[in-house]
């Protein structure tokens, strides 16, 4: 695929679960990919479409991702969200979406989420849960999400 004007900003510190999804998107769709700690104001300004991607920690997106939404300007941008977690029946993206929708003319395109390998706290005793996740099916579902919800907005 030709170069698109999409930047994925990721935070993925537990097992690289979210990064695995993002790397697959970079390889298939040629999206740019950047660790949230390397993102600057000038970089964000260059992109029309931003993806915020992260694991969930203590029922929330990490401060690093929330700070990007607080401190940067998302007016007129298209945004989508990706997250991995241990229990995916919560809408962990709710408050992030609310914050994003306060920008002028922002176009929120959707959220993809799936389970990720977790060894946090007592789960470590069982050698973790959701081993091998995200797996190939998760990645195919992610590609379907991109084709259904994102592609028509970015080309
Ligand atoms: C400190 C910590 C807290 C977590 N809290 C939650 C949580 O509240 N809800 C949940 O579903 N998963 C939780 N998880 C699981 C992670 O969201 C999950 O493993 C995710 O895939 C990690 O992504 P990463 O490997 O990209 O960092 C937690 C993991 C850690 C290490």
pLDDT digit string, tens, across residues 30-75: 999 999 999 999 999 999 999 999 999 999 999 999 999 999 999 9
* Phi-psi domain of 83 (left: phi exceeds 0; alpha: psi -120 through 50; beta: other): beta
* pLDDT value of residue 29: 96
Measured in angstroms, how far is the CA atom of residue 83 from the centroid of ligand 1? 10
Q: Are 132 and 147 in contact (CB under 8 A)?
A: no
Q: Which atom of ligand 1 is nearest to the CA of 15?
A: 25
Its pTM surpasses 0.85: yes
Confidence tier at 131 by pLDDT (50, 70, 90): very high
Distance CA 61, CA 69 (A): 11
Distances 150 to 6, 15, 23, 84, 130 between C-alpha atoms, Å: 10, 26, 17, 19, 27
Q: Output the CATH code of domain 6-154.
A: 3.40.50.360
Residues of the chain with pLDDT > 70, as a percent, come to 97
Q: Which atom of ligand 1 is nearest to the CA of 16?
A: 25
CB atoms within 10 A of CB 84: 29
Measured in angstroms, how far is the CA atom of residue 70 from the centroid of ligand 1? 22
> Can you tell me whether residue 89 is helix, strand or coil?
coil
Backbone angles phi, psi at 59, to 5 degrees: 65, 20
Residues 6+ apart with CB under 8 A from 127: 119
On the question of pLDDT at 81 being above 90, the answer is yes
As for ligand 1, residues whose beta carbon falls within 6 Å of it are: 12-19, 55-59, 84-87, 116, 118, 120
């Amino acid at each position: 695929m030709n170069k698109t004007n999409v930047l994925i900003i990721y935070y993925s510190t537990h097992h690289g679960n979210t990064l695995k999804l993002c790397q697959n998107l970079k390889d298939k769709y040629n999206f740019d990919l950047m660790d949230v700690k390397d993102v600057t104001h000038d970089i964000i300004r260059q992109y029309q479409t931003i993806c915020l991607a992260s694991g969930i920690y203590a029922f929330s997106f990490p401060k690093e991702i929330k700070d990007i939404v607080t401190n940067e300007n998302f007016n007129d941008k298209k945004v989508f969200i990706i997250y991995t977690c241990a229990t995916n029946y919560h809408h962990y993206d709710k408050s992030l979406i609310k914050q994003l929708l306060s920008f002028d003319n922002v176009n929120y395109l959707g959220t993809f989420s799936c389970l990720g390998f977790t060894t946090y706290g007592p789960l470590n005793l069982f050698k973790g849960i959701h081993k091998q996740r995200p797996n190939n099916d998760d990645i195919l579902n992610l590609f379907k999400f991109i084709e259904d919800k994102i592609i028509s907005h970015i080309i």
